[in-house]
């Protein structure tokens, strides 16, 4: 489903952030991406999200090489992805409903379909009653669940999460991981960058470890 083939990434005027990285994630697989600060985790996720381009190698998403697609196709390919961030990246002057609706509005869905899908997503993360609230009126855990609802509203094949539990206490972190496991159950592939070794070991999923841009275990 997601395949890295000999991928290297060098930023201009910097050393290599990733060197000859190869791995494969199957449909419905959940894996953690770990490594020290600066090891290349965010860079790897940005290559999949088409926010950066690799210097060498190929990244294949469902068999399609996303390093070779044209700029104009990127927004369409991104619809296959759900992105989740440590700092939630919510629009604080918009309601929960509007935040979750955003990817659908950008994709041009009609009002009825938007409303139906937003409610279904909020239901999946247990926030159906909070759709009229603004993000800052919610707890950190609830804000992250809004971020998750926004990530799944387009029914992505692949969810990428960059330190999704970095600002959450252990109970809320476990709750978020439980949600990811539910997505995995319905065939969504999930890749989570995290420092939280205790949580990672506890959950027992596959672990990809980066060390100075090299993949150590795959
Ligand atoms: N835009 C950029 N320009 C130049 N160098 C960069 C850029 N982004 C990242 N780097 C460098 O690439 C390397 C990998 O960074 P990256 O952010 O991918 O690591 P990380 O494992 O996600 O770290 P952290 O856990 O601290 O977020 C680092 O040496 C970093 O300084």
Is residue 93 situated within a structural domain? no
Residue stretches of the chain with pLDDT short of 50 = none
pTM for this prediction: 0.93
Q: What is the pLDDT of residue 119?
A: 97
Q: What is the pLDDT of residue 167?
A: 85
Is residue 128 situated within a structural domain? no
| For the CA of 42, the nearest atom of ligand 1 | 22
Is residue 179 situated within a structural domain? yes
Q: What is the pLDDT of residue 130?
A: 97
Q: What is the pLDDT of residue 199?
A: 85
Q: In terms of residue numbers, what domain contains 213?
A: 2-80+156-217
Residue with the smallest CA separation from ligand 1 atom 9 is 43
> Looking at residue 60, which CATH number applies to its domain?
3.40.50.300
Q: Which of 21, 32, 41 to mutate to test the pocket of ligand 1 (most atoms within 8 A of CB)?
A: 41
> Is any atom of ligand 1 closer than 6 Å to the C-beta of 17?
yes
Interface predicted TM-score (ipTM) of this complex, two decimals:
0.95
Count structural domains, the chain: 1
Is residue 39 situated within a structural domain? yes
Is residue 118 situated within a structural domain? no
Please state, in angstroms and rounded to a whole number, the distance separating the CA atoms of residues 140 and 146: 10
Q: What is the pLDDT of residue 217?
A: 62
Is 47 within 8 Å of 68 (Cβ atoms)? no
Is residue 123 situated within a structural domain? no
> Is any atom of ligand 1 closer than 6 Å to the C-beta of 186?
no
Please state, in angstroms and rounded to a whole number, the distance separating the CA atoms of residues 52 and 34: 19
Is residue 190 situated within a structural domain? yes
Is residue 184 situated within a structural domain? yes
């Amino acid at each position: 489903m997601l395949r890295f083939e000999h991928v290297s990434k060098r930023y201009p005027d910097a050393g290599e952030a990733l060197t000859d990285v190869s791995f494969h994630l199957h449909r419905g697989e959940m894996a953690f991406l770990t490594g020290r600060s600066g090891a290349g985790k965010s860079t790897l996720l940005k290559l999949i999200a088409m926010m950066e381009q690799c210097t060498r190698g190929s990244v294949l998403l469902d068999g399609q090489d996303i390093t070779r697609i044209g700029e104009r196709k990127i927004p369409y390919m991104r619809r296959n992805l759900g992105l989740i961030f440590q700092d939630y990246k919510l629009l604080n002057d918009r309601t929960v409903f509007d935040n979750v609706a955003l990817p659908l509005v950008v994709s041009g869905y009609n009002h009825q379909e938007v409303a139906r899908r937003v409610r279904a997503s909020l239901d999946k993360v247990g926030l159906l009653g909070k759709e009229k609230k603004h993000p800052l009126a919610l707890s950190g855990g609830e804000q992250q669940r809004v971020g998750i609802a926004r990530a799944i509203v387009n029914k992505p094949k692949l969810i990428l999460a960059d330190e999704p539990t970095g600002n959450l206490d252990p109970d809320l972190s476990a709750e978020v991981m439980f949600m990811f496991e539910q997505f995995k159950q319905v065939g969504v592939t999930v890749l989570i960058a995290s420092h939280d070794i205790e949580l990672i070991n506890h959950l027992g999923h596959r672990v990809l470890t980066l060390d100075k841009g090299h993949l150590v275990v795959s």
